[in-house]
Amino acid sequence: MNIPPPISWLWAMWKRFAEALGRVMSWIILSILWIVGFGIYAIVLKTMNTFKSQQKPISYWVDPPQDFPNSMKYQF
């Protein structure tokens, strides 16, 4: 199909404008969805963690087992 020149120029300009508009709108919409989605996820996790009644230990250090007296005599 052959379009006359003034209309084809308008069509080409419209395609460029629509592509630019699509890039801007997708960036805005995806940014909002990202912030809202992860924001709600973070709020849910924070509220779930506040209801936990487990007490964390003071230290995570575990004492190693005691070696026998000559443990370094036969290293290899």
Q: Give pLDDT tens digits for 50-67.
A: 777 667 778 888 887 777
d(CA 56, CA 18): 56
**Is pLDDT above 90 for 30?**
yes
* Tokens matching residue 72: 């370094």
Alpha-carbon distances, residue 30 vs 26, 33, 42 (angstroms): 6, 5, 18
Write down the residue that tokens 């709020």 correspond to.
43
Confidence category of residue 12, pLDDT binned at 50, 70, 90 = very high
Alpha-carbon distances, residue 67 vs 63, 64, 70 (angstroms): 12, 9, 8
Answer yes or no: are the C-beta atoms of 11 and 3 closer than 8 Å.
yes
Which pLDDT belongs to residue 31?
94
Length of the chain: 76
Where in the chain are the domains? 1-36
